Structure 1
Amino acid sequence: MAFSIVVSAEGMVQPCEQTPSDMLHLSVIDTLPSLQFNVGTVHVFRHGPPDEEAAKVIKEALAKALVPYYPLAGRIKESTQGGQAQVQVACTGEGVWFVQASAHCTLLDVNYVDGDGEPLIPHQDFLPHYPPITLGFDPVVLIKVTQFKCNGFIVGLITHHCVADGLGAAQFLNAVGELARGMQQPSIAPLWCREAIPTPPRLAYSAGDRKLPKLPAFELETGCVDISLDRINQIKQQHLQLTGRTCSTFEIVVASLWICRTRAINFVVDTEVKLMFFANGRRLLNPPLPEGFYGNCVYPLAIKASSGAISRASLSEVVTLLQKAKKRSRKDFSQWIDSGLPDPFAPYIYSNLFISEWNRLGFNQVDYGWGPPLRMIPTQGPKFPVALILALPKPNTGIRLITWSLEGTHLPYFMDEMMKIYHPF
């Protein structure tokens, strides 16, 4: 059966009221070269109103949300002042690119865009295309709403990472949802507040070099592992009995991923492997950032070890490494800023692995009036080894691990190793 998506309308959605025409500075974290990319996510809602009303409701709420979130209706501007490169947001009020579409099938027909292997409709088809170059406008935010015959719908979102991190993007969508449900204003007032991020006296990278360096030609394949809450709790109990200490779901999943990936690749003995994950720095600043801040305030926690040590390690041993790294987070955060914010991903090599936890960002709470999403699907960002931790699609409970961190020859061995841990029987 062939499935198609038809675009019925597209255009800019502007703030519904007059907004300031400021020129706002971004923080030094916002302008990190490794954060200069667009992030795409797909949000699947099982229930919605008939006759494509979801798009209409969301579009009207979006125009209201862009009043307090007016920087998102502007554009990113690069300039040179005093011989120094400056990156700012010009608050032009030009708006967000909005696409309305329909699919001539039900969500059930396409298995709620879920399943093993390639989905029946590629995830990219639910993301908005960019506006015609003739408009001369590169939006900070793009949204596409696709209505299905069952009245369910999918929201495709693209945001530029330098203006909002994952927590910030989820905060914005939740504000749109609240206004769609009839609230007069968002429950959390957005704050720009980028000046609260300390600027180091010297940057570890050139202020004029905001682009990612040319990346190696990795041929990374998609891997997906679903992990039940029952199995996670069993492993937590085993760790407690063995060490006398509790551990988190995140620590278990990350430890197993690092061990299994290292074993699958089978690095040359004593190859250095590095694990990196972003921690929320909002509470680590003094004073902490206020509620409502939606910019980037993340920093990389990194753990280095030899490939042989990680391949031979038990889950509990690697969990302990993670816990030690998290305990030194406040100190490491200060040192990272003081040292000029060196690129957290460099060098861009196969032995380095980056992990991001997405199931706590707040996307699963967005409600436009017909209930929260069934699931949220990330689309691949930068082309270096990365893994994302998400929640299993409802009504299941547990974790879905999606990884673009292994080349094709290594992926089957990785899946086998993960199955030994999470599906041993």
Structure 2
Amino acid sequence: MAMSVIRTKRGMVKPAKETPLTTLDLSVMDRLPVLRCNARTLHVFRHGPEATRVIREALSLALVPYYPLAGRLIESKPRCLQIECSGEGVWYVEASADCTLHSVNFFDDVQSIPYDDLLPDHIPENEHVDPLVQMQVTKFGCGGFVIGLMFCHSICDGLGAAQFLNAVGELARGLNKPTIEPAWHRDFFPPQEAEAEAQPNLKLLGPPPMPDYQLQHANIDMPMDQIKQLKSSFEQVTGQTCSAFEIVAAKFWSSRTRAIDLDPNTQLKLVFFANCRNLLNPPLPKGFYGNCFFPVTITASCEFLRDATIIEVVKVIQEAKGELPLEFGKYLKGECVSGGEDPFAPPLTYTTLFISEWGRLGFNHVDYRWGPPVHVVPIQGSSIIPVGIVGSLPLPNKGIRLMTWCVKEEHKLPFLDHMHGAMDQEPL
């Protein structure tokens, strides 16, 4: 993709007003080692001629109620993460590109996106900062812009990050304050159980040997009428309803299984993370923006997935989701969950498939003054962990885009053939 990006300004954006200087405890879930990483995304907007200034000013305003995000992660003792609310701010980069978004097709082709140009570059060591949030706003010749975002996962899950960005958008549009008041509330684990965060009853497995394959990227686009037809067929056969996510997850898992063609007795896992805010008693407040989710792990044989209909696989997924309140409740109490293994550390092998639903997080509704994004692009975190992300088709299209990094090169074409063929014509 022939384009040049010039970064014109870098620096910290601090809260617009004085904020509390304090130290806040993170929750037991926030402190999970698996979350010690940055989530990276691109947000593509068709129009926004003054975006760099407007977003910078709104970001400063949003950091007043969301002041912990302007702080720093500290570790007072091993595995005891806290947020030092220092008011230092978030890292903000302004940039410009020498082309239009139309000329790069609004970055619809994920494989050719110049991520390093659109994400914030490395912060110089002499800045002595380690921000929780980093953002680059790149202007394009058409008046559109792209936000490259890096967010510390230890302080926000996807819902929380989207809540913060929507607050920035509301302030950019002139609201006096965000419509949702942020709530810290990181003490939802019972105090007596929080000390047992290592989950001593679980089998702690050593890291598996690292594979040497490179997973291939593929997008599968599904028009909404196709999804509705499959949901309708499910209801006609079972008398029950199912979600679009369940349909996509079932097709994804079974199609990939047929493509990789392992021994029939091989046990395969499907893992997705479910929001648990409403499973607590009382439920977490609406403005909570920390991590509160739990992995739903489903195990089935290669033979079952190869031969099962979409209805049968959806039923298996629904049964596993039905166990979520019980499994999450056990985890909160420090009890051994089903299987006895750490639910947050499933085996990272070719037989484990992760799927994540992004359509309901709220990123697609963020409006900084000029309308919502054309689309939101998640950035691959690993080339060896099979993953699929369920998002929306780029506007103005309506439907679902499954963004995947899930198969080795020799399995890519069979996977696409099974996926497209199954979506079009598989009997229910």
TM-score class normalised by the smaller sequence: over 0.9
Deviations 1:178-237 (A, max 9, x none): 11111111111111110123344523468xxxxx95772342111110001111111112
Mapped to 2, the partners of 1:15 and 1:204 lie a distance apart of 35
Residue 90 of structure 2 corresponds to residue 93 of structure 1: no
Determine if the alignment matches structure 1 residue 20 to structure 2 residue 20.
yes
Distance 2:117 2:2 in 1: 14
1:169 aligns with 2:161: yes
* 1: CA distance, partners of 2:207 / 2:92: 31
Contact 2:111 2:217 in 1 (8 A): no
Map residues 139-178 of structure 1 onto 2, 5 A cutoff: 139-178=131-170
**1:3-37 deviations in Å (ceiling 9; x for gaps):** 11111111111111111111111111111122221
Whether the aligned pair in 2 keeps the contact of 1:200 and 1:339 (CA below 8 Å) is no
- Which residue in the other structure is 2:3 paired with? 3
The answer as to whether partners of 1:107 and 1:150 remain within 8 angstroms in 2 is yes
Aligned to 1:385: 386
Mapped to 2, the partners of 1:266 and 1:162 lie a distance apart of 37
Q: Quick check: 1:224–1:401 contact (8 Å CA) kept in 2?
A: yes
Structure 1: distance between partners of 2:343 and 2:121: 30
The whole-number CA distance in structure 1 between the counterparts of 2:5 and 2:174 is 30
**Aligned with 1:110 (options 104, 115, 132):** 104
Distance change >3 Å, CA 125–CA 197, structure 1 → 2: farther
**Cα distance in 1 for residues equivalent to 2:419 and 2:178:** 42
Greater mean alpha carbon deviation, residues 391-400 or residues 319-328 = 319-328
Contact 1:194 1:295 in 2 (8 A): yes
CA gap of 1:340–1:18, structure 2 versus 1, over 3 A, is: farther
| Alignment pair present for 1:61 and 2:54 | no
Q: Match of 2:154, as an amino acid?
A: C
Deviation track 1:274-303 (CA, whole Å, cap 9, x = no partner) reads: 111111100000110001000000001111
Structure 2: distance between partners of 1:85 and 1:323:
34
- The percent of aligned pairs where both chains have the same amino acid is 49
Judged with a 3 Å threshold, the aligned counterparts in structure 2 of structure 1 residues 146 and 340 are, in CA distance, closer, same or farther, namely: farther
Unaligned runs of 5+ in 2: 201-205
Q: Distance in 1 between matches of 2:335 and 2:214?
A: 33
Distance 1:165-1:340 versus aligned 2 partners, 3 A rule: farther
User: Counterpart in 2 of 1:209?
Assistant: none
- 2 CA distance for matches of 1:87 and 1:247? 39
Distance 1:201 1:90 in 2: 21
> CA–CA distance in 1 between the matches of 2:309 and 2:198?
36
CA distance in 1, matches of 2:235, 2:106: 38
Q: Report the equivalent of 2:403.
A: 402
Aligned to 2:413: 412
2:286 aligned residue: 291
Q: Contact 1:124/1:379 (CA < 8 Å) preserved in 2?
A: no
Equivalent of residue 126 in structure 1, options 96, 112, 118? 118
Give me the whole-angstrom Cα distance separating, in 2, the residues matched to 1:45 and 1:348: 35
* 1:321 correspondence with 2:316: yes
Matches within 5 A, 1:327-338: 327-337=322-332, 338=334
Moved more, 331-340 or 179-188: 331-340
Letter in 1 for 2:369: G
* CA drift at 1:336: 2.5
Residue 181 of structure 1 is aligned with which of 163, 166, 173?
Answer: 173
**Counterpart residue identity of residue 360, structure 2:** R
Letter matched to residue 53 of structure 2: K
Deviates more, 1:300-309 or 1:235-244: 235-244
Partners of 2:23 and 2:401 lie apart in 1 by 40
Residues 214 and 100 of structure 1: CA distance in aligned 2, closer, same or farther (over 3 Å): farther
How big is the alpha-carbon RMSD for the aligned residues of Structure 1 and Structure 2?
1.9
- Please identify, of 243-252 and 191-200, the stretch whose mean Cα deviation from structure 2 is larger: 191-200
Q: Does 1:339 align with 2:335?
A: yes
1:215–1:348 Cα contact (<8 Å) kept? no
Corresponding residue for 2:273?
278
Aligned to 1:350: 350
SS at 1:102 equivalent: strand
Provide, for residues 362-419 of structure 1, a one-character-per-residue CA deviation record: whole Å limited to 9, x for no partner.
Answer: 0111111111111000001245221100011111111000111211111111111001
CA drift of 1:124 comes to: 3.9
Q: Structure 1: how far apart are the matches of 2:396 and 2:276?
A: 32
Paired with 1:87 and 1:123, the residues of 2 have a C-alpha distance of 30
Q: What is the number of equivalent residue pairs in this alignment?
A: 412
- Report the TM-score when normalising by structure 2: 0.92
Alpha-carbon separation, structure 2, partners of 1:345 and 1:412: 30
1:221 equivalenced with 2:216 (yes/no): yes
CA distance in structure 1 between the partners assigned to 2:422 and 2:257 by the alignment: 15
* Residues 305-341 of structure 1 deviation map (CA, whole Å, 9 limit, x = unaligned): 1111111111000001111112222112112333378
Q: SS state of the match for residue 418, structure 1?
A: helix
Query: Is the aligned partner of 1:75 residue 2:72?
Result: yes
1:251 has 2:252 as partner? no
Deviates more, 1:302-311 or 1:313-322: 302-311
